[in-house]
Amino acid sequence: MLILGDHTTIPADDKFISVGILTLKEDVRRLNVILPINVASSEELEFDIKFAEHLLNDEMAFIELMSIMFTLFEGGSIHFISNRDQGYFEAVAESYCKFIQQRYGYNYAVVNELSDIQYLRNGNFTFSLSGLYNFDVDKARYTYLMLNKYPHLVMDERTDSHGNTYKVIREGLLYYRLF
């Protein structure tokens, strides 16, 4: 489940991982996706396009995006914190969620109060078929980046029952095996 809400709507549920752009809360993971200010002054569609280009072209932003997508793919839930009174940061949070919805077919919901979450438990929060294809393509790129350009981010090497060694990183709720 992917929800968008302010800091008052952070669920106490352990299944939720809270992320935000400009946050000082200790238990909220901070995303580094700040765009140049001249992008922020553009129209909504233009902003969304430039933001999508940023997520796909900036390798570190792409890696952060994939950590969110792995969490969602494994059945976890993300609470994206948006401060509704801060125009730029609200636009970034909303654009981020719209990008996920467009690229992966994964719907998000806006919550205004903590009690709204109970009504979303049985919602349609899954990948579309074309979204799964895009996820597979992005997973291959992610694997390449982690093995070849950012191997220092790989957390561990493990050995399977056949004696084969492989690298794993923790993304989302589970370890992701890099082949």
Q: Are 99 and 2 in contact (CB under 8 A)?
A: no
Which domain, by its residues, includes 70? 2-128
Per the listing, tokens 């700040």 go with: 34
- Residues 85-131 pLDDT 10s: 667 778 888 889 999 999 999 999 888 888 888 888 777 788 999 99
145 within a domain of the structure (yes/no)? no
56 within a domain of the structure (yes/no)? yes
Per the listing, tokens 């969304």 go with: 48
Cα Rg of the chain, angstroms: 17
140 within a domain of the structure (yes/no)? no
**Rounded mean pLDDT of the chain?**
80
79 within a domain of the structure (yes/no)? yes
Number of domains in the chain: 1
Predicted local confidence at residue 91, as pLDDT: 81
- Residues 123-156 pLDDT 10s: 778 899 999 999 999 999 998 888 888 877 766 6
170 within a domain of the structure (yes/no)? no
74 within a domain of the structure (yes/no)? yes
14 within a domain of the structure (yes/no)? yes
149 within a domain of the structure (yes/no)? no
- Pairing mode of beta strands 165-171, 174-178: antiparallel
- Residues 29-72 pLDDT 10s: 777 766 665 655 568 888 888 889 989 998 988 988 998 998 89
Cα distance between residue 21 and residue 37, in whole Å: 15
